[in-house]
Structure 1
Amino acid sequence: MGDYPAIADHALIGDLQTAALVSVGGEIDWFCCPRFDSPSVFASLLDRERGGRFRIAPEGDAPVTRQLYLPETAVLFTRFLSPDGVGEVVDFMPVPDPEVPTANHRVVRVVRVVRGQMRFVFECAPRFDYGRVEHDLELTEGGAVFRGGRLALTLHSGIHLRREGDDVRADVTLHSGQARCMILESQADTAPRAVSAEEALRLLFSTRRFWRRWLAGSTYQGRWREQVTRSALTLKLLTYAPTGGLVAAPSAGLPEQLGGERNWDYRYTWIRDAAFSVQALLKLGFHYEAQRFASWLGDRVREGVAGDGRPLQVMYRIDGSGDLAESTLEHWEGYAGSWPVRIGNGAARQLQLDIYGEAVNCLYHAEKSGGVLSNRDWAGLTAVLDWVCDNWNQPDEGIWETRGGREDFTYGRLMCWCALDRAVRMSQARGWPADVARWTRYRDAVYQQIMERGWNEDLGAFVQHAGDRVLDASLLLMPTIGLVDPHDPRWLTTLRAIEESLVTDSLVHRYDPAASPDGLRGSEGTFSMCTFWYVDALRRTDRLDAARLTLEKMFTYANHVGLYAEEIGVTGEQLGNFPQAFSHLALINTAVDLNAALDGHRSEVSMSESEVDQAVRLMLR
């Protein structure tokens, strides 16, 4: 990995319109401005030489470092412990009016020494537009202004800066009780000025107040409150407040395999995230956020009716626009040499039938929680359902966005069944006009195909797509969606087959790429969200002890501040884009439901002898 920090060695700060990753070394090595999906300003995470950085760290050899969040906030402390003293950097982004798009974003960085003394080095070296645009530097007594293309950054500084090319550096020795402050602001018409400790404290207190007031709306008081709270805060950080859209991750290009080509741009809003997001937010009592996301989705449904035949695309930009053309940054080497580095996402135009079930399921749950659909929304939704009736039997690229050709994926059929089933329920509950008889007929046809073609008799399990023997972790959601009863014999044998083939030390592979070629080279780690789905499957089959143990083991794979990437590698390292919303959504849904199940079984629940034998076999595999 050279001098690249581990993916897990990061924490996240943000202001609900963009976000930054801060390494344990005190370096902001990923920051896009003014939005999540804007070009990067700091991106040394993807190219140490050409990406750009904003670093505050002790001089010389790196001391012992620790990171933690101020409890119940997104205010980050990075602490440095050395023989000469203890210092820390406090990083946060004040939250502007969350529903008004703004070009003015501030990163506040406060460095101080709490014991002894320590010499710190400062370096601010932006690289505009993914490092493709040169910038000019204006250096003043109060700080610096960097101008690159159409974007300018003003650095307000409480220390004297010196020029180094078109970047700035500084160094200062601080003693116990001393502090210095910097504010990086994306507002060109503001003259650089010295930042006082009092100003930084006011911003810190207002930011802390914002996060704690928001979190006070949570109704969750159960087990694993720390993990659930941190996941809720992470989801909020990944929300683009002006529209309510949720990015899948704030990062791009982080590899699913070191040195491999599975490197994608996740700074967009997936339709697939909708149902899981709304359910997770509703379970925690965040009805406003759930309704906002449902409204964002409703807008896409209405717009899609007037489209070119396909009502929805897989993902959108956070403002709802659909141009996600994929390209490669040829001049970057990629994280630890993992090239290519892609921006945009070509999977947006794939046919993934499951998104229709997730979209309708999202609106179904939002409607049950208080009603978000208007007559106009219902008209758009009925058009989507009519399209599903006409197109559910097509081969598609599937939930995992394979690039090896279309197949008759069972999960796509499952979610088409879900779309039709939820639409029938909504029409009957509200008395809304619909061709319920047609929807019901096609719903039943989808069901029959899953039971006949999605089942492999020799394997005794439902499989990834018709005519093969590949197991797929997405089918862990079959009882969650309600297609099968969790105690159905065919589901129990499917779960057993998945455990034997895809589960290792509680972690779950989404499928076996060697058995089901997906058009890409290399292997991958286990998918964190699949592990949470597995826990839920165990809960639904009343294996509560096994579910709780698996969840507790999964918590040990979180990073030092409770965050999860997309995947976990063979040695426990985090892989893929970070932090991933889907992982934290699945954590919330699983933890809340398992907590309720355990509360309903307060007496000692013992495992049967067969369950013990099975658990031992899995543990020793």
Structure 2
Amino acid sequence: MPRATRLKPDRTDGYVDLRSYAAIGDGRTVALIAADGSIDWLPVPSLDSLPPFARMLDAESGGAIELAPTDPFTVTRRYVPGTNVLQTTFTTALGSARLTDALVTGIAGRLPWVELARRIEGIRGELRFRWRVTPGTMFSTASPWKDDTTHGQVLRVDGVTLAVRGVDHGPRGGGERELAGTFVTAPKSRHLLTVVGSADEPLHLPIPEKTDIGIDRTIANWRTWSREFHYDGPWSEHVQRSALALKLLIFAPTGAIAAAPTTSLPESRSGHKNWDYRFAWVRDAAYTVHALTRFGLREETQASVAWLVRTIRKHGPDPHIFYTLDGSLPDGVAELDAPGWRGSQPVVSGNPAAGQDQHGVYGDLLGMMLNYVEAGNVLDDPTGHMLVTAADRACDLWRQPDSGMWELPERRHYTASMMGCWQALDAAVKLSELGEIPSSPERWSRERDAIAAHIAEHCWSEERQSYVSFEGSDELDASVLLHAPSGFDRGERMSRTVDAIRAELGRGPLVYRFTGAEAEEQAFVACSFWLASALACVGRREEAIELMDQLVELSNDVGLFAEMIDPADNSFWGNLPQGLSHLALVNAAITIHETA
């Protein structure tokens, strides 16, 4: 992932390309930073809170934390190795300076407040910087104002209190709803701008010099975590960056894993497919746990598994396809008053897929728990009984239509959903044989074999030489590729399905989700990596390596992926950083490595 030099991003319409964004986080929230130094997305206090800084979706009144030279500049960026701390080097005709951005963590983990630290170090010549902290209207729900307190001015908006502290940051006041200032760097100079925030509680005002030390502590904390990361296979730099991106999505207060830290970023130029991904999908949790156990990361694995089984038992007996980050059930969709990224509508809170049936969730759940056990862990009695119930449900549900993995409005007998039920029952049989769940596996074994026979007869097309999307169709669906790694089929039929999907849904190294998707969205990044995994599973390892080499280079300059990429120009689309994209990269790399 080479460092990339670019001109100042174009904000002619108030927005920047999605490729421009890098992410930092503290285990509770995530900030997105554009290449021009502007923080355009930062919810306070939590990842799923209404954001006081949301310029990404509302250029005029969304709010931002701006920091950049006043003269024209170019930019070089990278993450500090082994961390989620971002370094941006600005270069003008007069000199250069380095900006280090961190959401600061404490001695014992995340802080009880949000503390964004921006350290600016002069390298060469003199650069004049301008900064401005302008909270937005939280999607037209509140009006921010500046308030005088005993300890200086603060900014308030709808229960959120924000303060600015710094070292040689040159405050100059700003307008009625902002704080702003300027300063000049010189060789070896050091300036600090800190923005701290809390919601519906008093705000601690940190000592700036301690925040400066906190940046170095945060770097050390991230590097300590990275040293626990074990992967020595190919594409190791990309795998580690993806693991760090996934770590940003683990909501530390509960252990839930967010699909992405953003909402309403469009999947196509026409808009309308704008979703909120700040929820925890069982599917994503399963893939994440699978990756974390392979990396030897024990704490996150245990926290995520424990949160998920508690949450399912609380709202069961059937698992929902996703939950809020605090373990509640989603409560519908609300349309927010904002123009959206480059005018793309709607901007929403919530996701309409909450009430859908997706039978593949049973395979995700039981497959994850089998992986957890095989990694050297044991199940408790309530979880064992819950898994027995889930396996029994899979025995019945596979014969019924559902909405499929892609949350489609048409209920059908989707092939991948039936394969997911097969995976659930195969895992249940193995867990029973290991003595981890209290039931006899005979029924599960019979139904597992019945599913395989049914798919072989009704979901394979001799004409297409492929598994089809659903019974009776001749359409293709890239989600069936997941069931090469699951073990459903690693033979000739899956190999031919790989060829059919690549021919019809592939555009270069990228892959669309299903037949007809190209008309309404961009290529789905995860599907492209699933194809690489499937190639390895069916014995075509050299092709898998060639594809993987192409795919990893499609990240942005700091190694992040969005949900989708346009094959025509490699532009990013959809929410970002997208957990499923990075999970697919990680699992593809591991699968290819393990098939050597």
TM-score category (smaller protein)? over 0.9
Choose which of 538, 557, 561 in structure 1 pairs with 2:558.
561
Q: Which residue is 1:518 aligned to?
A: none
* Mapped pair 1:552 → 2:575: no
What SS does structure 2 have at the residue aligned with 1:264?
coil
What SS does structure 1 have at the residue aligned with 2:500?
helix
Matched ranges for 1:181-330 at <5 A: 181-187=192-198, 189-190=202-203, 195-196=208-209, 199-305=210-316, 311-329=318-336
Deviation (angstroms), 1:259: 3.8
Mapped to 1, the partners of 2:483 and 2:117 lie a distance apart of 46
Which stretch has the larger CA shift, 498-507 or 170-179?
Answer: 170-179
TM-score (norm: length of structure 2)? 0.93
**8 Å Cα contact 2:123/2:187 also seen in 1:** yes
Q: Which residue is 1:124 aligned to?
A: 133
Mapped to 1, the partners of 2:86 and 2:517 lie a distance apart of 41
Residue-by-residue CA offset, 1:42-87 (whole Å, 9 max, x unaligned): 11001100211000011144x1112111111111111111111102
In structure 2, runs of 5+ residues without a counterpart are 1-11
Choose which of 338, 355, 373 in structure 2 pairs with 1:349.
355
Mapped to 2, the partners of 1:45 and 1:139 lie a distance apart of 29
Mapped to 1, the partners of 2:232 and 2:265 lie a distance apart of 34
* Mapped pair 1:499 → 2:496: no
Deviation (angstroms), 1:347: 0.7
Mapped to 2, the partners of 1:446 and 1:223 lie a distance apart of 36
Q: 1:391 corresponds to which letter in structure 2?
A: L
Choose which of 92, 96, 99 in structure 1 pairs with 2:102.
92
Q: Which residue is 1:472 aligned to?
A: 477
Q: 1:64 corresponds to which letter in structure 2?
A: T
Residue-by-residue CA offset, 1:151-172 (whole Å, 9 max, x unaligned): 2122223322313021122122
**8 Å Cα contact 1:157/1:192 also seen in 2:** no
Q: Which residue is 1:537 aligned to?
A: 534
CA RMSD of aligned residues (A): 2.0
Matched ranges for 1:146-165 at <5 A: 146-158=155-167, 159-165=170-176
Deviation (angstroms), 1:387: 2.2
Q: 2:465 corresponds to which letter in structure 1?
A: G
Choose which of 143, 147, 158 in structure 2 pairs with 1:134.
143
Which stretch has the larger CA shift, 150-159 or 214-223?
Answer: 150-159
Residue-by-residue CA offset, 1:549-583 (whole Å, 9 max, x unaligned): 11111112110000000111121111111111111
Matched ranges for 1:335-414 at <5 A: 335-403=341-409, 405-414=410-419
Mapped to 1, the partners of 2:454 and 2:315 lie a distance apart of 28
Mapped to 1, the partners of 2:400 and 2:106 lie a distance apart of 46
CA spacing shift, 1:46–1:538, aligned 2, 3 Å: same
Matched ranges for 1:401-480 at <5 A: 401-403=407-409, 405-430=410-435, 432-480=437-485
Deviation (angstroms), 1:193: 7.3
Q: Which residue is 1:617 aligned to?
A: none
CA spacing shift, 1:234–1:98, aligned 2, 3 Å: farther
TM-score (norm: length of structure 1)? 0.89
Deviation (angstroms), 1:282: 1.3
Mapped to 1, the partners of 2:506 and 2:371 lie a distance apart of 30
CA spacing shift, 1:168–1:382, aligned 2, 3 Å: same
Deviation (angstroms), 1:140: 6.9
Choose which of 482, 487, 494 in structure 1 pairs with 2:491.
487
Choose which of 85, 93, 97 in structure 2 pairs with 1:75.
85
Mapped to 2, the partners of 1:500 and 1:322 lie a distance apart of 40
Q: 2:485 corresponds to which letter in structure 1?
A: T
**8 Å Cα contact 1:32/1:39 also seen in 2:** yes
**8 Å Cα contact 1:99/1:242 also seen in 2:** no
**8 Å Cα contact 2:71/2:92 also seen in 1:** no
Q: Which residue is 1:608 aligned to?
A: none
CA spacing shift, 1:7–1:452, aligned 2, 3 Å: same
Deviation (angstroms), 1:441: 2.6
Deviation (angstroms), 1:442: 2.1
What is the identity percentage for the equivalent residue pairs of Structure 1 and Structure 2?
A: 33
Q: Which residue is 1:528 aligned to?
A: 525
How many residues of Structure 1 are paired with residues of Structure 2 in the alignment? Answer: 580
Deviation (angstroms), 1:192: 5.5
In structure 1, runs of 5+ residues without a counterpart are 516-521, 601-621
Q: 1:450 corresponds to which letter in structure 2?
A: I
